[in-house]
Chains A and B, each alone.
Chain A
């Protein structure tokens, strides 16, 4: 069985999810994840659809365990977890794989994402401020500044997305697509 390991870092999970689905289109299915390290297995191209979800609690929490058990029940495979993130996949032959079919649950997800990104952004911002006049840390805080900038962009993007969802919700129900 052919495998390969790819090292990459993503700030926004949306881009990560897109990349995982592009990889599986090329015949590489994610099997495990550790910080920055993605392990893939060679599969029939397009065999799975991947989705990434942010849990409310850590994976060891009973609520998260119940969530993952439920997903398994309905034919979705839990590939791996990392912090509060969970990597899910479904066989393409079993039909389309969307996590949400109404605006409320999508809005709740966006709220969780914005809260997490906002917290990490703030922590990095504090590091930058605390070390700003420190000549020794001059170069190390450069990374923090980049992280702050990327997260600020992500927060802005998800806030915009949430506003759009709220606007749509005010008009009506979500239409089930495919």
Chain B
């Protein structure tokens, strides 16, 4: 994995998956959480979700929980939490700049 791929913006899907996995959830739970949180705007389709989960496990941002649960559950890792915070700072910067510069245009 290159350094570059670590510092880029997260996709909406990955961002919401990381948000949802601050508590352990299984696939269907993540889909529901994201849909409810975004009031139906963001929907994780199963193929996309499956692919994203595999990449995130590989990257070490989430982990599958060992257990007897019938459905496989996942949870965010420390590295994932760090990535989420970095993204949040990036988004805040974007929003701040957006407000600053559109205000200037309005006046």
Contact = CB atoms under 8 A, between A and B. Distances in A.
A104 B26 CA distance: 22
Interface string B23-48: 00011100100000000111111111
**Interface residue SS majority, chain B:** helix
A67 B46 CA distance: 10
B26 A53 contact: no
A98 B49 CA distance: 12
A132 interface: no
Given A73-B27, A73-B71, A74-B27, A173 B12 contact: yes
Nearest to A98: B45
Contact of A73 (B26, B41, B42, B45): B26
B102 to A, nearest CB: 18
Nearest to B13: A102
Interface residues of B, number: 22
B72 interface: yes
Interface string A121-135: 000000000000000
A69 B72 CA distance: 9
A71 interface: yes
B31 A74 contact: yes
A93 B22 CA distance: 31
Interface of B: 11-13, 26-28, 31, 40-52, 71-72
5 contacts: A74-B27, A74-B49, A102-B12, A102-B13, A176-B41
Q: What are the 9 tightest A-B residue pairs by CB atom distance, in nearest-first order? A: A99-B47, A101-B45, A176-B43, A105-B48, A101-B48, A98-B45, A74-B28, A105-B51, A100-B48
